[in-house]
């Protein structure tokens, strides 16, 4: 399906699952729909499965917006208690459209729990209280975190998924990748068709002397990332400055926010340190993933020179959970992290010009696909190693993905068959429903 077709189905009021390979333009379509909703003054909520993913759309986590919090399930009594929270009930009652990004990381039990909350607070038996629901993600990306990796509780196994009667919009092609060699490697992994040719192509990237651009190093485990960043910072003979994260709100809530935030609780910086911005600020000229080097300090804050030559003073930013206009919890930190190395998990959603990747300790299906799809071309990749797990994706997801692709093709055919008059009148009827 083309991007414009997916956008038109959204504007016709369908509940949507927007998917496609890494770099296919899912975020672009979501942002286009959000812009359209704002132009029509239609109340909507922008959410994502994790704090990292939420920053890509300037949204909040689904957990905080819905009131679910850290729980997987809710009793009837707990849901009734949520009904006493005025601001929670107000924001859910007002929303006409719910957008959820990176749904591959949401468990079915949690998705069903959110559905129950919204139905109760909207006093409706309809799925999600009658809201239009836009889901986005790619099941080949990292799955929900679960101790039992043999049985993953994917969102499509939920009752709510079935009730929504989703139109599948499967975007084809890649806006991120234009290198045929890398595209072939990613497609081979995605379809479990890795052969000796693909292995040799990957092995050839292990003998690269250096990359033209200083690469971000991706590792599968936090312990490796922390050790590399600390070691590289220690090599710099310069004055060190420490920035401590500040918090407002219950410790249990702020502790969870710290775990999902890319900015560290204690940020140590020196002139010459390689850093990465970890949230979006279009006015100041950076987005999540923008790389730069500390070239000094402007007053008390670090001054960053980006790869494009822009100079940006990195001032504190806040990550907030709101109940209406009331701040429930908030963490504040300089929106930077040391960027000599990051984990594959935290790289999800990023686009990197150059990356040095170690996949020798890959421990879950899809990890290699996520990491390799971060770079734009094979020339920006240096591999330190890979194991067989790095080349695997879930057979279950392969089957589901084929079904989704076929459903999307049928949706595109059905949309083409709709006359202009029916599409125009359908869009007007949907807008009337949302704004009346």
Give the per-residue pLDDT at 152. Answer: 80
DSSP notation for 246-269 = EEES-HHHHHHHHHH-SS-SEEEE
H-state helical runs in 26-68 = 26-39, 51-55, 62-66
CB 265 within 8 A of CB 251: no
Task: Specify the pairing of strand 291-298 against strand 301-306.
Answer: antiparallel
Which domains, and CATH codes, for the chain?
3-175+395-435 (3.40.50.300)
Structure tokens at 151: 């049985």
The tokens describing 90, both together, are 């107000």
- Cβ atoms of 219 and 358 within 8 Å: the answer is yes
Instruction: Report the pLDDT value the prediction gives residue 172, as an integer from 0 to 100.
Output: 86
Q: Tell me the residue ranges of DSSP E strands in 307-374.
A: 311-313, 317-323, 326-333, 336-338, 341-343, 355-359
Can you give the pLDDT of all 436 residues of the chain as single tens digits?
Answer: 999 999 999 999 999 999 998 778 898 999 999 999 999 999 999 998 876 677 667 777 888 889 888 788 889 999 999 988 888 898 899 999 999 999 998 999 999 999 999 999 999 999 999 999 999 999 988 778 665 556 788 999 999 999 999 999 999 876 676 788 998 999 999 888 999 999 999 999 998 888 877 788 999 998 999 899 999 999 999 999 999 999 999 998 888 888 778 899 999 999 999 998 887 777 888 876 677 899 999 999 999 998 778 999 999 999 887 665 678 889 999 999 998 898 898 787 777 888 999 999 998 888 999 999 888 889 889 999 999 999 999 889 999 999 999 999 999 999 999 888 888 898 888 988 888 7
Strands 60-61 and 132-136: unpaired
Say how far apart CA 199 and CA 134 lie, in whole Å. Answer: 37
Using DSSP's 3-state secondary structure scheme, residue 418 falls into coil
219 backbone φψ class: left, alpha, beta (φ>0; ψ -120 to 50): beta
Strands across the sheet containing 246-248? 246-248, 326-333, 317-323
The reported pLDDT for the residue numbered 260 is 73
pLDDT at 296: 96
Instruction: Give 20's strand partners.
Output: 171
């Amino acid at each position: 399906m083309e991007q414009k077709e997916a956008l038109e189905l959204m504007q016709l009021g369908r509940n949507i699952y927007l998917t496609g390979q890494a770099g296919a333009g899912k975020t672009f379509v979501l942002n286009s729909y959000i812009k359209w909703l704002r132009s029509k003054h239609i109340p909507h909520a922008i959410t994502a499965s994790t704090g990292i993913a939420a920053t890509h759309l300037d949204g909040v986590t689904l957990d905080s917006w819905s009131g679910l919090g850290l729980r997987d399930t809710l009793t009837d009594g707990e849901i009734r208690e949520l009904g006493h929270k005025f601001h929670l009930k107000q924001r859910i009652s007002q929303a006409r459209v719910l957008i959820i990004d990176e749904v591959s990381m949401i468990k079915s039990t949690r998705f069903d729990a959110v559905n129950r909350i919204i139905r109760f607070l909207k006093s409706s038996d309809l799925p999600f209280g009658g809201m239009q629901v836009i889901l986005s993600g790619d099941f080949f990306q990292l799955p929900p975190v679960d101790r039992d990796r043999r049985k993953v509780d994917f969102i499509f196994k939920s009752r709510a998924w079935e009730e929504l009667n989703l139109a599948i919009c499967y975007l084809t092609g890649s806006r991120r990748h234009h290198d045929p060699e890398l595209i072939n490697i990613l497609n081979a992994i995605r379809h479990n068709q890795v052969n000796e040719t693909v292995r040799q192509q990957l092995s050839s990237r292990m003998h690269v002397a250096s990359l033209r651009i200083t690469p971000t190093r991706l590792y599968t485990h936090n312990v490796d990332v922390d050790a590399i960043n600390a070691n590289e910072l220690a090599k710099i003979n310069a004055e060190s400055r420490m920035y401590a994260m500040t918090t407002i709100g219950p410790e249990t809530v702020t502790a969870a926010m710290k775990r999902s935030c890319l900015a560290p609780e204690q940020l140590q910086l020196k002139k010459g340190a390689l850093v990465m911005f970890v949230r979006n600020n279009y006015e100041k000229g950076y987005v999540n993933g923008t790389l730069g080097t500390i070239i000094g300090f402007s007053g008390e804050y670090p001054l960053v020179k980006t790869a494009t030559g822009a100079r940006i003073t990195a001032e504190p930013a806040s990550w907030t959970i709101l109940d209406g206009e009331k701040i429930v919890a908030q963490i504040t930190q300089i929106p930077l992290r040391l960027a000599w190395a990051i984990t594959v998990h935290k790289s999800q959603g990023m686009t990197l010009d150059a990356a040095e990747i170690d996949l020798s300790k890959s421990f879950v299906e899809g990890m290699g696909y996520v990491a390799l799809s971060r770079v734009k071309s094979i020339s920006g990749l240096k591999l330190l190693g890979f194991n067989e797990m790095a080349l695997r994706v879930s057979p279950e997801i392969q089957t589901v993905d084929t079904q989704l692709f076929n459903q999307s093709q049928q949706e595109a055919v059905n949309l083409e068959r709709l006359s202009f008059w029916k599409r125009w009148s359908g869009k007007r009827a949907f807008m009337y429903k949302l704004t009346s």
